[in-house]
C-alpha cells in the first residue's frame, strides 16, 4: 500500500485510498508540521488505521501527529458499532485517559512571584512523581482500589479529596459509568495499587502558569481567565494500571481476530467488534482505567490546593478536566449526512472538544464550548482553546506540541547543564526528580506549539481563548 499524500490547501493533506483502506486519511497539518524524521511511520499509521472494519468518514491526524503504537499519536478514528465497527486498544494507547486538568488561582502573577520559590519547594516535597510506586493515597487494599476504578474522581471527592463543584467541571462528571473492574487483571491491579495520586514520568508534569494573552475576551471571562491570572496545569494518566490493561487486551484481541474475520496490516492494531465479548471487556477495563486517571488528577489537584493555600493564602478553582487518550461511544452525523446511531470514537493524543451548545457541557460552559488544553513544553507556552461548531473530526482537537525527537536524540543533542541554564535564564523554576529526565523533554524535542494551535484553528478543530506561560514546573 502506497502513501499518496495530496495537498488540499496550505493547512491539510489527504492520503488517498489505496489497497485495503476503507476511507481516506486526513492530516490536518501544514507541511512544516508533517513528520519528517528518517524512518518515521506516523503517516503510514494513518493509512493503516483507515483499514479498520467499520471506520467512517476518514482516519484523522491532528497537527501534533507523531509515531505511536498502532495508531499515530494525534490519531482520531470512529467506527460504526451497528455495522461491524471495532474497538482497538492501540487507538487509545497505554496511558489510558491521560489528560489535562487546569485550575485557576485567586492570585495574579505579580502577587505570586515573591512566594514562587517557597510554593515550588512545597510542591516538590509533596507531589509523588517518577517511575514506580508512590502515591498520595494509601488505599485500603484491593476493595478500595476497585472503588476508585468504579467511582473515579467522584469517589475521591466523597472521601474528602476535593469539592462537589470539581465534578461539574470534569468530563463525564468525574467518572465513566460503564467501568467494569472485573475486566482488570491482577497484574494491572498490582501495578496501580500504590500509584493513585502521582504524576509519573516522561512528559507528565504539574506546572504553575500565568495567563499571558487573551484572544477571546468573552469566552475567557466565562472560563475565569484574565491577563496575569495564575493557573495550575496537571498532565498525567492511569500510570502502570492503564499500561497493563492495554497490553492485556491487545493480546486478547490478537488471539480472536481471525475468528471474527478481521485482518489488519499491523499487529499493533489488534481489535475486536465493539459489540463482542472481547470488545465489551476492553471497554469496561478501559473505563476503569479512565476512572483511576481521574481520581489520580483529583488527588493531585487537591494537594496543589493545600500547597497554594499555605504558600500564598490563595485557593484554586477547577476550570475543566478532559482526557486525550480514550475511546467513547458517541452519536454523530456522518460526513455523508447520514445520522449514525452509535460510533466508537478513538482519540489517541487528541482531546475531545465539544462545541457550544452541546448538552454534555455544564450549564456555565455550554454557551461557549468545552475548554481544550494544549500544553507546550518546559519554557514554552501552553494554550486554552474551546470547541468549534465547524469541527468535522468528531469534535476532536490537538493535545499538545507533538514530539519530533526521540528521547535518545534529545540526550545526544543537549545536556542537563544546558537545559538547566536555559530554564533558569527564562525565569522558570524547575523542580525535577532527575535532570536527566528533563533533558528528554526539552522544547527542541517537540514541534512549535504556536504553529500547532494555529493549524488547529485553521482546520476548525477549535478556537483560541488564551495563552499561558510557565512560572514553575514539577517533572518526574
Query: How far is the CA of 443 from the CAs of 205, 211, 419, 431, 434, in angstroms?
Result: 14, 20, 9, 17, 17
C-alpha span between 475 and 115 (Å, rounded): 20
234 beta partners = 101, 206
d(CA 326, CA 352): 9
252-274 residue pLDDT tens: 999 999 999 999 999 999 999 99
The residues, any chain, with a CB within 8 Å of residue 440's CB and separated by 6 or more, are 202, 407, 410, 411
Q: Which residues does 335 contact at the CB level (< 8 Å), separation at least 6?
A: 56, 57, 58, 392
Confidence of residue 39 (pLDDT cuts 50, 70, 90): confident
Q: What is the per-residue pLDDT for 340?
A: 63
DSSP readout, 177-188? TT--GGGS-HHH
The pLDDT assigned to 476 comes to: 81
**pLDDT score for 335:** 55
Q: Look at residue 38 in the predicted model and tell me its pLDDT.
A: 84
Q: How many CB atoms lie within 10 A of CB 31?
A: 12
pLDDT > 60? residue 145: yes
Strand partners, 431: 474
The pLDDT of 430-440, averaged and rounded, is: 89
Bridge partners of residue 27, in order along the sequence: 13, 61
Of the pLDDT bands very low, low, confident and very high (cuts 50, 70, 90), residue 312 is very high
The predicted model gives 237-247 an average pLDDT of: 98
Q: What is the CATH number of domain 5-475?
A: 3.90.1860.10
Q: What is the pLDDT, as a whole number, of residue 134?
A: 87
Catalytic residues: 399
Residue of 437, 452, 438 whose CA lies nearest to 397: 452
Q: Give pLDDT, residue 437.
A: 84
Q: pTM of whole model > 0.75?
A: yes
Distance CA 20, CA 18 (A): 6
Q: Is the pLDDT of residue 235 over 70?
A: yes
Q: Cα separation of 275 and 253, whole Å?
A: 13
pLDDT of residue 438: 87
| Of 173, 195, 165, nearest in space to 103 by CA | 165
Tell me: pLDDT of 408 over 80.
Answer: yes
Average pLDDT for 159-167:
97
Do residues 433 and 198 touch, judged by C-beta distance below 8 A? no
pLDDT of residue 336: 60
Give the tens place of pLDDT for each residue, 327-350.
999 998 755 666 668 999 999 999
pLDDT in the model for residue 339: 63
Mean pLDDT, the chain, rounded, equals: 95
Range in 364-368, 393-397, 407-411 the model is least confident about: 407-411
Place of cell 471495532: 86
Is the pLDDT at 2 greater than 90, yes or no?
no
Contact (Cβ atoms closer than 8 angstroms) between residue 372 and residue 386: yes
Where does 264-337 have alpha helices with state H?
277-312
Total Cβ atoms within 10 A of residue 453: 28
For 169, list phi and psi in degrees, rounded to 5. Answer: -105, 20
Quick one: which of 401, 402, 105 has its CA closest to 233? Answer: 105
Amino acid at each position: 500500500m502506497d502513501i499518496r499524500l495530496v495537498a488540499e490547501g496550505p493547512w491539510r493533506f489527504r492520503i488517498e485510498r489505496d489497497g485495503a483502506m476503507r476511507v481516506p486519511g486526513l492530516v490536518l497539518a501544514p507541511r512544516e508540521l508533517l513528520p519528517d524524521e528518517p524512518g518515521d511511520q506516523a503517516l503510514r499509521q494513518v493509512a493503516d488505521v483507515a483499514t479498520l472494519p467499520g471506520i467512517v468518514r476518514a482516519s484523522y491526524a491532528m497537527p501534533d501527529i507523531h509515531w505511536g503504537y498502532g495508531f499515530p499519536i494525534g490519531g482520531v478514528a470512529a467506527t460504526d458499532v451497528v455495522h461491524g465497527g471495532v474497538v482497538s486498544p492501540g487507538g487509545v494507547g497505554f496511558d489510558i485517559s491521560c489528560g489535562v486538568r487546569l485550575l485557576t488561582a485567586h492570585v495574579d502573577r505579580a502577587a505570586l512571584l515573591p512566594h514562587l520559590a517557597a510554593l515550588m519547594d512545597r510542591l516538590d516535597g509533596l507531589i509523588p512523581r517518577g517511575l514506580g510506586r508512590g502515591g498520595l493515597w494509601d488505599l485500603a487494599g484491593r476493595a478500595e482500589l476497585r472503588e476508585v476504578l468504579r467511582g473515579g474522581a467522584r469517589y475521591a471527592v466523597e472521601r474528602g479529596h476535593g469539592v462537589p463543584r470539581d465534578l461539574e467541571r470534569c468530563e463525564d462528571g468525574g467518572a465513566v459509568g460503564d467501568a467494569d473492574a472485573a475486566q482488570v487483571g491482577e497484574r494491572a491491579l498490582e501495578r496501580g495499587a500504590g500509584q493513585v495520586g502521582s504524576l509519573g514520568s516522561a512528559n507528565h508534569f504539574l506546572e504553575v502558569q500565568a495567563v499571558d494573552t487573551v484572544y477571546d475576551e468573552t469566552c475567557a471571562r466565562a472560563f475565569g481567565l484574565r491577563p496575569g491570572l495564575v493557573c495550575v496545569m496537571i498532565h498525567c494518566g492511569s500510570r502502570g494500571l492503564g499500561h497493563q490493561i492495554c497490553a492485556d487486551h491487545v493480546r486478547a484481541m490478537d488471539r480472536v481476530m481471525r475468528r471474527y474475520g478481521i485482518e489488519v496490516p499491523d499487529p499493533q492494531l489488534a481489535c475486536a467488534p465493539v459489540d463482542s465479548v472481547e470488545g465489551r471487556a476492553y471497554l469496561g477495563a478501559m473505563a476503569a482505567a479512565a476512572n483511576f486517571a481521574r481520581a489520580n488528577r483529583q488527588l493531585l489537584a487537591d494537594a496543589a490546593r493545600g500547597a497554594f493555600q499555605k504558600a500564598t493564602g490563595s485557593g484554586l478553582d477547577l476550570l475543566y478536566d478532559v482526557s486525550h487518550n480514550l475511546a467513547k461511544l458517541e452519536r454523530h452525523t456522518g460526513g455523508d449526512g447520514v445520522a449514525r446511531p452509535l460510533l466508537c470514537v478513538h482519540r489517541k493524543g487528541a482531546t475531545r472538544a465539544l462545541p457550544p451548545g452541546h448538552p454534555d457541557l455544564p450549564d456555565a460552559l455550554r454557551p461557549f464550548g468545552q475548554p481544550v488544553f494544549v500544553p507546550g513544553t518546559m519554557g514554552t507556552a501552553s494554550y486554552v482553546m474551546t470547541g468549534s461548531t465547524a469541527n468535522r473530526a468528531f469534535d476532536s482537537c490537538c493535545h499538545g506540541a507533538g514530539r519530533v525527537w526521540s528521547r535518545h536524540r534529545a540526550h545526544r543533542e543537549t545536556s542537563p547543564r544546558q537545559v538547566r541554564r536555559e530554564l533558569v535564564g527564562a525565569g522558570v523554576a524547575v523542580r525535577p526528580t532527575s535532570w536527566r529526565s528533563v533533558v528528554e523533554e526539552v522544547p527542541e524535542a517537540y514541534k512549535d506549539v504556536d504553529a500547532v494551535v494555529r493549524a488547529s484553528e485553521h482546520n476548525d478543530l477549535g478556537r483560541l481563548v488564551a495563552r499561558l506561560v510557565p512560572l514553575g514546573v514539577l517533572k518526574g
